Amino acid sequence: MPDPSPTSAPAVPPTPPVPLSALLAREDLALRQIAGPEGPGTVIHWAHTSEMADPYPYLLGGELLLSAGVHIPKVTGPDPEREDCLDAYVSRIVAAGGAALGFGVAPVHDTVPRALVAACGHHGLPLLEVPPQTTFSAVARAVWQLMAQARVAELRRVSEAQQSLAAAAARPAPVAAVLRRLAGWVGGRAVLYGPDGAELAAAGRAARTAVRALGELAEVVRQEGRPGGHAHGPSSATDTVDGTRLAAYALGAGRGFVLGVAAPRRDPGDHTVSSLAAVLLSLLTGEHQGADGAARSSALVRLLLGASATAVAPLLGAERWVVVHARPAGEKPAPDAVAASALGAALGSSLLDTAGDVVRVLVPADREPAAQPGWTLGVSAAAGPPEWPSADAQAARALARARATRTPLVRHGERTVLADLVPPGQAELHARTLLAPLAPLPALTETLRTWLSLHGSWDRTAVALAVHRNTVRQRIARCAALLGTDLDDPDVRMELWFALGRAGRV
């Protein structure tokens, strides 16, 4: 048996909470609450049936526990020992985090034992009387139906909030607009803290103690996310002060901006809504990073005025960089500015260029670029400012190889081959032109490919193609005639092998 003395409150299952009052309102169940606190504050997360005398080891928390009292002996008149047992039984349900107890009348007991009613009243556990005509399965099904309705309502609320926040982000003062919308959705206060911990913008209201505690929580998140902080510092944190729910979200990696939210309650979907606002604010603050942003603006001005890349590089905050070329994976359309900014934030840099269908990002060399969902990346070797043009070409070739091999990320130098030096479009055009005489004759093309792969062996090619070796000789001679070339020349063989490799992708 598990330790009966829990050291902390049980964690309820991650399911939509259902108000107990909504279950009591179901006329088809005819449930009746006969003990324990009433009101909208009691919620249940699922229903569980157990006839164990000690259900503690089998509860996760938040359950409506259903029992017919099989473990409770039937007695008439006062019985102190049974009263003590029932008091212990209810205390164990409360200790396990049970939300309520449903007691089925019949077939074991004709009425709910008075000692059980008294124990539930003493420990503050809602007690429901389940009439004989209502099965426990019907009660559980009703709980799941109410949970499904709650989930649909939550998804609808989140969708509406997403549209509202996105519209706010498109307004002339987007940061303030997003904070106002967020504060309205949670019915509290939303604050944007800067890299120095100061409030940059705020909307909504909260108690003074909650405002102070929210600033302290945001500082914890900001400090943990700074370089030199814990390796796996939290990106968010929550707390409760004087009944006010607090949450803080780091915006980006190591940039110091934090979103703080204080709300009088925690409605379903609030965390998702706040997270959406955090993503938008992360994008909106990506180009404005305090002193870093000013330094980068200064670097751009100096470049425009004729300074060298080497001279302005120290203003960007790193000595060596890698260039990343990125394109949406598969056949997705060219990325828009928001998607490109999100990619830059994920890679830890706001230095990006979205010209054409390729996003180019300049990333400090100490931030190892990782594969990103929905993107294909090519990464250069680390380079100083004088080598940036070469690094840009390396990233382009790495991206071409990544797309050709359908690999999420390819780094320069991992497996550089001669084919990487030829742009894919030019390589495919050359392959089509060179092999055009063989295009109407796939048998000849396949024979040539197999013969070259087997280093010109007639016998092995014949076995591989399941034909006579004389047939192989005739086909290869026909290929040489149509192509007008000498297949004994190793340079010719190399060029044809390259073309056949590119033709396989055409």
**H or E stretch including 362?**
strand 359-364
Segment 418-440 shows an average pLDDT of 74
**Which pLDDT belongs to residue 413?**
73
Q: Which of 273, 278, 259 is nearest to 342 (CA)?
A: 278
Confidence at 420, pLDDT banded by 50, 70, 90: low
Predicted local distance difference test score (pLDDT) of residue 157: 83
Q: Report whether pLDDT(31) > 80.
A: yes
Percent of residues, the chain, with pLDDT higher than 90 = 31
170-284: which CATH number, 3.20.20.70, 3.40.50.1260, 3.30.450.30, 1.10.3720.10? 3.30.450.30
435-441 CB contacts, 8 Å cutoff, 24+ apart: 435/483, 435/496, 435/499, 435/500, 435/503, 437/482, 437/483, 437/484, 438/479, 438/482, 438/483, 441/482
Q: What is the per-residue pLDDT across 309-335, written as a single tens digit (0 to 9) for each?
A: 777 666 666 678 899 999 888 766 666
Is the pLDDT at 292 greater than 60? The verdict is no
How far is 293 from 288, CA to CA, in rounded Å?
A: 5
Give the range among 295-299, 388-392, 443-447 with minimum mean pLDDT.
Answer: 295-299
Q: Quick one: which H or E segment has residue 247?
A: strand 244-251
Interatomic CA distance for residues 453 and 451, integer angstroms: 6
Would you call 398 helix, strand, or coil by DSSP?
helix
Residue appearing with tokens 């943990």: 224
Q: 110 pLDDT exceeds 70?
A: yes
Which residue, among 61, 58, 29, has the nearest Cα to 46 in the 3D structure?
61
- pLDDT band per the 50, 70, 90 thresholds, residue 228: very low
CA distances from 376 to 251, 252, 391 (A): 24, 21, 17
| Spatial separation of the C-alpha atoms in residues 398 and 322, rounded to whole Å | 12
| Rounded percentage of the chain residues whose pLDDT exceeds 70 | 82
Residue 10 has pLDDT above 60, yes or no: no
pLDDT digits (tens, 9 = 90+) for 389-405: 888 888 888 888 788 77
C-beta separation of 10 from 59 below 8 A: yes
Give 24's contacts (C-beta < 8 A, 6+ positions apart). 31, 32, 33, 128
Q: What is the mean pLDDT of the chain?
A: 82
Class of domain 424-503: mainly alpha
Query: What are the extents of the domains in the chain?
Result: 18-144, 170-284, 286-315, 318-421, 424-503
Stated as kind and residue range, the H or E segment containing 452 is helix 442-453
Q: Provide the CA 283 distance to its chain's centre, in angstroms.
A: 16
The superfamily (CATH) of domain 18-144 is HprK N-terminal domain-like (3.40.1390.20)
Q: How far apart are CA 129 and CA 136, in angstroms?
A: 11
